[in-house]
Amino acid sequence: MKALVTLLPDPISEMVHLIWNELERDFNFRSVLVTPYPHFTYCVVEDFTEGLYEKIEATITNVDSFTVRTEYLGVFSGESPVVYIGIARIPELSHFHDTLWRRFFGPERDIHDLYGIAHWIPHITLIFGRDLNRENFCPAMERLVFRDFHREFEVNNLAILSGSLESVIEVEKIFYFPGNQHP
């Protein structure tokens, strides 16, 4: 599988790395480190998606960078909970996600997919997988809940992360929005 994501710029990327390192040190949380690139995900596509690069380039051709804001600490509940920093779903971000989604998927998949237009919650994952359990959830949340997660950052790229959660995830390619300087 390949994830279509935005890689986070500094200093928010540094903030996320510091939190991941702290949680690894103090709670032995390591699952999130399999994807060592702070990011947020738009959707996941098949490994052999035909014309992947061309579809991405066509999608970003007329996209200008825009600013988003992290707003809150959240939890996706269930058998394998996820703790995350929520990103406000501003019109520019929603429009970009909707355009990207429609480029790759149809409406029939939208109603069943957590990354679909109807269900997508933009977020930066802090803890997930088997790391989190009933014994360490409250201490981990207590560590995080009183922090201020309000930050603004520029969205200026669409990257492909490839690999698997069982092995390693790597950045396959980064596409910068037109007119943006890139490192």
| CATH number for position 61 | 3.90.1140.10
Q: Is residue 15 part of a domain?
A: yes
Q: Is residue 46 part of a domain?
A: yes
Percentage above 90 pLDDT, the chain? 76
Give how many domains the chain has, as a whole number: 1
Strand pairing of 39-45 and 169-176?
unpaired
Q: How many CB atoms are located within 10 Å of the residue 105 CB?
A: 16
On the 0-12 / 13-18 / 19+ scale of CB atoms within 10 A, 130 is: exposed
Domain for residue 81, yes or no? yes
d(CA 8, CA 113): 24
Which residue, among 127, 112, 35, has the nearest Cα to 81 in the 3D structure? 127
In a domain, 58, yes or no: yes
The answer to whether residue 132 sits within a structural domain is: yes
Rg (CA), the chain: 16
User: For residue 34, what pLDDT band results from cuts at 50, 70 and 90?
Assistant: confident
Averaged pLDDT of the chain: 93
Q: In 3D, which of 16, 17, 9, 41 has the Cα closest to residue 153? A: 9
Q: With respect to residue 79, please indicate whether it lies within any of the assigned structural domains.
A: yes
> 135 vs 22, 26, 27, 64, 131, CA distance in Å?
18, 14, 11, 45, 10
Encoded tokens for 55: 């579809």
Quote the domain boundaries for residue 157.
2-176
Domain-embedded: residue 32: yes
pLDDT digits (tens, 9 = 90+) for 95-127: 999 999 999 987 667 666 889 888 999 999 999
Residue 183's pLDDT band (cuts 50, 70, 90): low
Indicate whether 183 belongs to any domain. Answer: no
7 strand-pairing partners:
39
